Amino acid sequence: MRFREDLRVRRGRFDRAGVEVHAAAFLRRRELMLHAELRDSPRELSRILVHELFHFAWLRLGNTRRDSWMHLLRKELDLGARGELGWSAEWRKRRSPSPGSLAFREYACESFCDSGACFYSLAGRHPEFTLKRRFRDRRRAWFRDFLETSGVRL
């Protein structure tokens, strides 16, 4: 894990012409890069870092659990759930990804990571936590069940 002053990525690589980001996880290299400005904001650093760590969890989650998470998201969409638990999932959700598509799988991954950051970071309240309480509670229960059945302790 390293901090970097100018963190811009494009197509999975650092690129000065890329999009500025708070953090980037390079899973195959087992590397995390965080924007240096996060050092000055412990709560935001915690939220962003936990989100990035959950990318590593998603990679190792397995198809059965990923399918279970995506089923939960499809139910939310069917019920008209608006909002999310982070911008990274929110902008993907706004593109209305159809279940089964690559865009939906990317949304599922980001919503998993944003949800993990909401529940397990120091963030507490945050303006990006816009998902209604009843959907948030269902996600929290999914995570609780996942952690209990996988033997992970946080």
131 shares a domain with 95: yes
Contact (CB, 8 A) for 85 and 118: yes
Nearest to 4 by CA among 51, 37, 30, 28: 37
Residues 65 and 125 in one domain: yes
75 and 86 together in one domain: yes
Model pLDDT for residues 81-106, shown as the tens digit of each residue: 999 999 999 999 999 889 889 999 99
Residue 59 near residue 44 (C-beta atoms within 8 A): no
**CB-based contacts of 50, cutoff 8 Å, min separation 6:** 116, 117, 120, 121
Query: Domain residues for 48?
Result: 41-150
**pTM flag (> 0.85):** yes
The confidence score (pLDDT) of residue 149 equals: 85
Band the pLDDT of 153: cuts 50, 70, 90. Answer: low
Say yes or no: 56 and 27 in one domain: no
Q: How many distinct structural domains can be found in the chain?
A: 2
Same domain for 19 and 76: no
Q: 89 and 32, same structural domain?
A: no
Residues 36 and 49 grouped into a single domain? no
